[in-house]
Amino acid sequence: MTTSLELVSANKCFGGWLKRYRHPSAVLNCDMVFAVYLPPQADQGKPLPALYWLSGLTCTDENVMQKSGIQRLAAELGMVVVAPDTSPRGDKVPDDADGAYDFGLGAGFYVNATQQPWARHYRMYDYVVDELPALIEAHFPVSDQRSISGHSMGGHGALVCALKNPGRYQSVSAFAPISSPLHCPWGHKALGNYLGPDRQAWKDWDACELIARAEERLPLLVDQGEDDNFLVEQLKPELLEAAANQHNHPLTLRRQPGYDHSYYFIASFLPEHMQHHAAALGC
């Protein structure tokens, strides 16, 4: 496949441009759509750092761009924001047999599947870490300074990508991440299907397990709403906190009373996350 880009849409926003592109992905064996916000500073000729945002179950690249207000913050800071889709798409891409929301289309879980029929398409980890950044850095005015963040399943993805790739990201943060897929129903379903029944293999995709062997002590910033209806069964931030404490990994875990799992929660604390990334990226 080539790396040709097809412009899907373009909207002027806070002095910059929010654009959506479609491209053929060699990693995922399908066409993919991503969004990129180019702040007004992108016209000044100097490469800018980029924040990669990973969304959660059922979401696409559009959720963060439509609901969070991230463009205004990125424009103030001079930061490019890149939002990939959450899974491969297309008629030839397999989906959950029952059409469930928590597996298959919209639920790629940011892992590299090893089991059939998923392995041909569901390699979102390679797409996010390697293929998409190479595409962005080849076609847009961005530097090789990257940060990563995300929400829920995307928070899991952001933590895993950062912990597995020392030196690749300058900072990482997450909103209500799935802290330990080894210990929740969403994780059991996704990892069991994508990776097979051997739970030893699952440990390579669990942030709590990866903290134990992390080669880099990149500080983790995590916000969690205390009224999140997925908190107890699926998210389990206490496991992330215990792993960080046990292995002396820097973690700022902020429990926010009254907040739920929605983008209202994300929008409320996104400015502080953007400042966290801006400080690391030198914005």
Give residue-wise pLDDT tens across range 153-167: 999 999 999 999 999
Q: Kindly report the length of the chain.
A: 283
**Residues 9-52: tens digit of each pLDDT:** 999 999 999 999 999 999 999 999 999 999 999 999 899 999 99
Distance, in Å, from the CA atom of 164 to the CA atom of 182, rounded to the nearest integer, reads 17
226: β partners: none
Q: Is 268 a catalytic residue?
A: no
Percent of the chain scoring above 70 in pLDDT? 99
Whether the per-residue pLDDT at 131 is higher than 50: the answer is yes
pLDDT at 190: 97
Of these residues, 152, 171, 173, 180, which one is catalytic? 152
Share of the chain above pLDDT 90, in %: 97
Q: Angle 90-92-93 (CA atoms, 0-180°, nearest 5)?
A: 70
Please state the rounded mean pLDDT for residues 62-89. Answer: 98
List, in sequence order, the alpha helices (H) in the chain. Answer: 62-67, 70-77, 124-126, 132-139, 153-164, 185-195, 199-202, 207-212, 237-246, 263-281
Residue 97 has pLDDT above 90, yes or no: no
Confidence (pLDDT) at 34 = 98
For the question of residue 261 being annotated catalytic, the response is: yes
Q: Model pTM?
A: 0.96
For residue 187, pLDDT over 90 is answered with: yes
Residue entry with tokens 């379903």: 189
Please give the average per-residue pLDDT across 110-137, as a whole number: 98
| Distance between CA atoms of residues 226 and 258, nearest Å | 6
Domain boundaries, the chain: 6-281
CB 17 within 8 A of CB 38: yes
Q: In this model, does residue 2 exceed pLDDT 60?
A: no
**How does residue 87 score in pLDDT terms, banded at 50, 70 and 90?**
very high
- CB count within 10 Å of CB 36 equals 23
CA–CA separation, 53 vs 174, rounded Å?
9
Is the distance from CB of 59 to CB of 34 less than 8 angstroms?
no
Q: What is the CA radius of gyration of the chain?
A: 18
CATH H-level, domain 6-281: superfamily: Alpha/Beta hydrolase fold, catalytic domain (3.40.50.1820)
User: What is the rounded CA–CA span in Å between residue 167 and residue 145?
Assistant: 10
Which pLDDT score is estimated for 3?
63
Please give the residue that has the higher pLDDT: either 113 or 99. Answer: 113
Question: Long-range contacts: 162-170, Cβ < 8 Å, 24+?
Answer: 162/218, 162/220, 163/207, 163/210, 163/211, 163/214, 163/218, 164/129, 164/204, 164/210, 165/129, 166/214, 166/215, 166/216, 166/218, 167/216, 168/129, 169/218, 170/49, 170/145, 170/146, 170/277, 170/280, 170/281
Q: Which of 261, 273, 276, 277 is catalytic?
A: 261
Note the pLDDT tens digit of each residue in 191-200.
999 999 999 9
Catalytic-residue membership of 144: no
61, 85, 206, 228: the active-site residue: 228
Q: Which of 218, 202, 208, 261 lies closest to 239, judged by CA? A: 208
Min mean pLDDT across 77-81, 94-98, 134-138 is at 94-98
Tokens of 228: 């999140």
